[in-house]
């Protein structure tokens, strides 16, 4: 019998707010232990929580970004359990009335078991034929708001708890069991992260533990509808860890069933070092959280005006952006992918591409040259002699001594239109491609216009056939060996001769013309 995996993810994301969920303490990572704390987030008796409105906005914003409904009634509940890092002995969360529900995420994924969502209208077919051409959809059950807990540390002889994280706004995004493989789970998480980062909901910094996830997985015979026993792998803190855990867990479950065993609903732990999952507890020992509405907090009833304001913060989704770049500028998927992930670079490109006859040529300059130059300049700024690209944007470094020059796309020395000029100089064959590289380098460093640089450096391509004829005659006379090689059928010898002519012209000859003229002369 063939088996298939069924996966649903519960993803916890720390929200990008200045303060915590119920108090004014800073929502900041990396402070000395227990310095961002107060009676409220320490859960002392008699205190009252006050909801952080920005956290409410970011949760609803997430709802919009994930195509969810925003119910006009939501509330907070207490989820009771005991754990040393949670001093109130309950976590405030949203149980049966979450702030958002019933949405979906779409992302590119080509794998088995995915029913593709058709799209790509208007994208040229040669660009659509791409390794990542299938759009998968995972439904979102809900995205609700809760609070993070503290963090325990275990030392040699004792343990400690840091409550800086206690009360940090935490959003839980629950997916429907629509995921069918380890790779698909991985791509779903990456897509979700990109949406949340670009939407300004969370920085999703994995190193700082801003995203953690519980993985629910079961298996069932292919073709059946009924779900198998749900096994939950708790508290994963990396996307590659999720993928590895599933790559272990799915075959394990299938193996149990194939060898006649049964699976029971249970919770497991992933061991990063040994690469296996281990059982922690089964259904019989499941927690009873005794949820009930938090009497300290008013229910939520978001009004039209408030919702409209949140809606203004909705950004274009990364996948829609990629498809738009492919459609509007006829870019191949790889270029559009770059502009999808790198917002400033994509915006810069777009500012120019709207006037470009050949947006692909502009994309090449932006991706291959401009991006590299900016990175290089930013690298050099930390070195001994920082390039003074925009002195006025100099910031004081941490030491306060040397100015840190950060090169960004908004303060480049050349005007965006100069890139269009450069493209047309190449297209109308005024300069050849190696001269164009020189021109780009110079305009990046000095801000001079491409035409001025061509003039100044004498880079205009020689298309004067008379001059090229003379260079060719000279080279053939100077290299009788290769010339005879070519005549006797070794066509590769032409490249050598071509190179010599280019050299003689100081790189300015029109390479196509050189090839033509040389061949004509040698075949005579
Ligand atoms: P619980 O109430 O135990 O938290 P839920 O029904 O809310 O369980 O589901 C939690 C997560 O587990 C969701 O992401 C859901 O899609 C997923 N899930 C539920 N049942 C299964 C199953 N049988 N196999 C895989 N995932 C499942
Ligand atoms: Mg759950
Ligand atoms: Zn506090």
pLDDT of residue 461: 79
Tell me whether residue 286 is in a domain. Answer: yes
What confidence category does residue 363 fall into, taking pLDDT thresholds of 50, 70 and 90? very high
Tell me whether residue 449 is in a domain. Answer: no
Going by alpha carbons, the residue nearest to atom 13 of ligand 1 is: 8
What confidence category does residue 115 fall into, taking pLDDT thresholds of 50, 70 and 90? low
Q: Which residues have CB under 8 Å from 217's CB, separation 6+?
A: 5, 6, 7, 230, 231, 232, 233, 246, 249, 250, 253
Q: Please say whether the beta carbons of 257 and 3 come within 8 A.
A: yes
What confidence category does residue 395 fall into, taking pLDDT thresholds of 50, 70 and 90? very low
**Same domain (yes/no): 233, 324:** no
Q: Which of 255, 276, 300 is the last residue of a domain?
A: 300
Instruction: Give me the mean pLDDT over the 142-171 stretch.
Output: 97
CA of 357 to the centre of ligand 2 (A): 53
Strands 276-282, 292-293: pairing is unpaired
**Same domain (yes/no): 367, 491:** no
**Looking at the DSSP assignment, which residues form a beta bridge with residue 74?**
300
Q: Which of 340, 362, 397 is the last residue of a domain?
A: 397
Instruction: Give me the mean pLDDT over the 380-384 stretch.
Output: 61
**Same domain (yes/no): 295, 352:** no
- Across the chain, mean pLDDT equals 90
**Same domain (yes/no): 138, 231:** yes
CA of 200 to the centre of ligand 1 (A): 28
Higher pLDDT, 110 or 372: 372
Higher pLDDT, 129 or 26: 26
Domain extent, residue 360, equals 315-397
Residue 109 reports pLDDT greater than 80: yes
Q: Which ligand is nearest to the CA of 37?
A: 3
Instruction: Name all residues whose Cβ lies below 6 A of ligand 1.
Output: 6-10, 174-177, 216-218, 227-228, 230
pLDDT of residue 463: 77
CA of 173 to the centre of ligand 1 (A): 12
Residue 208: count of CB within 10 angstroms of its CB:
12
**Same domain (yes/no): 117, 166:** yes
Which atom of ligand 1 is nearest the CA belonging to 229?
23
**For residue 436, what are its two tokens?**
């164009």
* pLDDT (tens digit per residue) in 29-38: 999 999 999 9
What confidence category does residue 401 fall into, taking pLDDT thresholds of 50, 70 and 90? very low
* pLDDT (tens digit per residue) in 295-345: 999 999 999 999 999 999 999 999 999 999 999 999 999 999 999 999 999
- Which residue among 7, 8, 98 is best mutated to probe the pocket of ligand 1, counting the most ligand atoms within 8 A of its Cβ? 8
Which atom of ligand 1 is nearest the CA belonging to 227?
23
Tell me whether residue 452 is in a domain. Answer: no
* Terminal C-alpha separation, the chain: 73
Strands 266-271, 231-236: pairing is parallel
- How far is the C-alpha of 126 from the C-alpha of 146, rounded, in Å? 46
Q: Which ligand is nearest to the CA of 287?
A: 1
What confidence category does residue 120 fall into, taking pLDDT thresholds of 50, 70 and 90? low
Going by alpha carbons, the residue nearest to atom 4 of ligand 1 is: 10
Residue 394 reports pLDDT greater than 80: no
**Same domain (yes/no): 245, 107:** yes
CA of 158 to the centre of ligand 3 (A): 25
Q: Which of 273, 300, 327 is the last residue of a domain?
A: 300
Instruction: Give me the mean pLDDT over the 74-85 stretch.
Output: 95
Return the axis-axis angle of helices 371-381 and 433-446, rounded to nearest 10°: 40
- Which residue among 216, 235, 236, 282 is best mutated to probe the pocket of ligand 1, counting the most ligand atoms within 8 A of its Cβ? 216
pLDDT of residue 121: 57
pLDDT of residue 125: 60
**Same domain (yes/no): 278, 323:** no
Tell me whether residue 512 is in a domain. Answer: yes
Residue 388 reports pLDDT greater than 90: no
* pLDDT (tens digit per residue) in 449-483: 999 999 898 888 777 788 889 999 999 999 999 99
Query: DSSP string spanning 32-50?
Result: STT-S--TTTTT-TT----
Tell me whether residue 306 is in a domain. Answer: no
pLDDT of residue 510: 86
Percentage of the chain surpassing pLDDT 90? 76
**Same domain (yes/no): 331, 358:** yes
CA of 111 to the centre of ligand 1 (A): 22
Distance (Å) of CA 401 to CA 166, 195, 206, 207 = 37, 38, 32, 29
Instruction: Give me the mean pLDDT over the 376-381 stretch.
Output: 78
pLDDT of residue 41: 97
The torsion angles phi and psi of 91, rounded to 5 degrees, stand at -110, 135
Element (H, E) at 170: strand 169-175
Residue at token pair 């803190």:
237
Q: What is the 3-state secondary structure (H, E, C) of 336-367?
A: HHHHHHCHHHHHHHHHHHCCCCCHHHHHHHHH
- What is the CATH classification number for the domain harbouring 503? 1.10.10.410
Residue 501 reports pLDDT greater than 80: yes
pLDDT of residue 126: 59
* pLDDT (tens digit per residue) in 402-429: 444 556 887 899 999 999 999 999 998 8
Alpha-helical (H) ranges within 428-464 are 433-446, 450-457
Higher pLDDT, 376 or 328: 328
**Same domain (yes/no): 293, 372:** no
Query: Edge-to-edge strands of the sheet including 100-108?
Result: 100-108, 135-147, 169-175, 3-14, 211-221, 231-236, 266-271, 276-282
**How many separate domains does the chain show?**
3
Instruction: Give me the mean pLDDT over the 169-197 stretch.
Output: 97
pLDDT of residue 334: 95
Tell me whether residue 77 is in a domain. Answer: yes
Tell me whether residue 384 is in a domain. Answer: yes
Tell me whether residue 158 is in a domain. Answer: yes
pLDDT of residue 390: 34
Q: Compute and round to an integer the Cα radius of gyration of the chain.
A: 31
**Same domain (yes/no): 356, 474:** no
**Same domain (yes/no): 270, 324:** no
pTM of the model: 0.85
**Same domain (yes/no): 126, 220:** yes
Q: Please say whether the beta carbons of 87 and 160 come within 8 A.
A: no
């Amino acid at each position: 019998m063939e088996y298939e995996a069924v996966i649903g993810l519960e993803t916890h994301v720390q929200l990008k707010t200045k303060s915590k969920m119920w108090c004014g303490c800073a929502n900041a990572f990396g402070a000395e232990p227990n310095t961002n704390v107060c009676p409220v987030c320490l859960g002392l008796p008699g205190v009252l929580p006050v909801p952080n409105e920005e956290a409410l906005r970011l949760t609803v914003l997430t709802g919009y970004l994930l195509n969810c409904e925003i119910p006009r009634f939501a509330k907070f509940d207490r989820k009771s359990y005991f754990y040393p890092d949670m001093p109130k002995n309950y976590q405030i969360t949203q149980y049966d009335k979450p702030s958002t529900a019933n949405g979906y995420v779409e992302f590119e994924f080509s794998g088995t078991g995915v029913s593709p969502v058709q799209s790509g209208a208007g994208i040229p077919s040669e660009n659509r034929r791409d390794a990542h051409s299938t759009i998968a959809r995972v439904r979102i059950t809900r995205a609700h708001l809760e609070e993070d807990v503290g963090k325990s540390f275990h030392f040699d002889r004792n343990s400690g708890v840091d409550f800086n994280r206690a009360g940090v706004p935490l959003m839980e995004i629950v997916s429907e069991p629509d995921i069918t493989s380890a790779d698909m789970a991985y791509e779903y998480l990456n897509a979700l992260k990109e949406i949340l980062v670009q939407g300004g909901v969370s920085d999703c910094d994995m190193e700082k533990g801003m995203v953690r996830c519980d993985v629910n997985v079961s298996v069932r015979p292919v073709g059946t509808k009924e779900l198998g026993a749900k096994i939950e792998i708790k508290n994963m803190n990396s996307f590659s860890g999720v993928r590895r855990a599933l790559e272990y867990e799915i075959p394990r479950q299938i193996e149990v069933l194939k060898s006649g065993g049964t699976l029971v609903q249970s919770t497991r732990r992933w061991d990063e070092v040994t690469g296996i999952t281990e059982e922690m507890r089964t259904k019989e020992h499941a927690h009873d959280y005794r949820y009930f509405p938090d009497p300290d907090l008013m229910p939520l009833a978001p009004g039209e005006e408030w919702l409209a304001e949140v809606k203004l913060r909705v950004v274009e989704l990364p996948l829609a952006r990629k498809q738009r770049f492919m459609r509007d500028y006829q870019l191949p998927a790889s270029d559009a992918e770059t502009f999808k992930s790198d917002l400033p670079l994509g915006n810069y490109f777009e500012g120019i591409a709207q006037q470009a006859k050949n947006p692909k040529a502009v994309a090449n300059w932006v991706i291959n040259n401009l991006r590299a130059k900016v990175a290089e300049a930013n690298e050099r700024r930390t070195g001994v002699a920082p390039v003074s690209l925009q002195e006025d944007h100099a910031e004081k470094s941490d030491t306060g001594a040397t100015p840190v020059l950060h090169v960004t796309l908004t303060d480049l020395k050349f005007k965006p239109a100069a890139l269009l000029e450069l493209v047309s100089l190449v297209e109308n064959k005024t300069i050849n491609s190696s001269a164009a590289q020189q021109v780009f380098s110079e305009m990046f460093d000095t801000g001079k216009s491409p035409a001025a640089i061509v003039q100044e450096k004498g880079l205009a391509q020689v298309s004067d056939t008379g001059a090229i004829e003379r260079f060719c005659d000279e080279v053939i006379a100077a290299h009788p060996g290769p010339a005879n090689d070519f005549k006797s059928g070794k066509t590769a010898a032409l490249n050598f001769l071509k190179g010599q002519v280019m050299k003689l012209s100081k790189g300015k000859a029109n390479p196509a013309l050189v090839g033509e003229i040389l061949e004509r002369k040698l075949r005579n």
